[in-house]
Amino acid sequence: MEALKTQLIEEFGVNSIVEDFGELTLTVDSADIVRSCLKLRDVFLFDTLVDLCGVDYLTYGHSEWQSDASSSGFSRGRDTQTKDTNIDKERFAVVYHLLSVGKNYRLRVKAFVEEAQPMIKSVTGIWAVADWYEREAFDLFGILFENHKDLRRILTDYGFVGHPLRKDFPMIGEVEMRYDEELGRVVYEPVSIEPNVNVPRVIRK
């Protein structure tokens, strides 16, 4: 790992590498993601993309359990999630988990994207397996992958509203569906149930 870390620092700079829990994380500029991934595949021999996922850093660093729950049993997990402007982080990131089969190296690559229009170039031309991973990140986080040939939802319905893994997406959802006997089809309607507590009740003796 030390040899790999040294080589990555020489190529990408010392500030781009973090080592935690025995793993290396390389942070690259989203505008350079294709060039960086090509270099990681061809020079560093990371021939396999193990996983690709989106991350939402909204309320990053906050704990859902830090509150006065001694009487009510409710924590701030019941409250609407809002972004803390004091947190020095962009909101969305795309994370790539790479494997070099020949050298038995593993690497995590992270690229932040703009919150207003989360977009990054597709890496399907580098690792074909990224196809469905990128569709999943688009579906659940709303991250757009430029030059992806078939970027459409993969887990939710075609008419689904919103992106369910975003931190500000309501846990009860935006709409509910039912089968309408008269129309002979499934219809979508506004959610009719009341928001519920999503943390366990605290019981103290």
Q: Count the neighbouring beta carbons within 10 Å of the beta carbon of residue 109.
A: 24
Domains observed in the chain: 1-157 (3.30.460.80)
| DSSP letter (8 states) at residue 89 | S
Gap between the Cα atoms of 147 and 164, Å rounded = 24
pLDDT tens track of the chain, all 205 residues? Answer: 899 999 999 999 999 999 998 899 999 999 999 999 999 999 999 999 999 999 999 988 776 555 554 444 444 444 455 555 544 458 999 999 999 999 999 999 999 999 999 999 999 999 999 999 999 999 999 999 999 999 999 999 877 888 999 998 888 888 888 899 999 998 888 888 776 666 666 666 6
Gap between the Cα atoms of 13 and 73, Å rounded = 48
Considering the entire predicted model, what is its pTM? 0.80
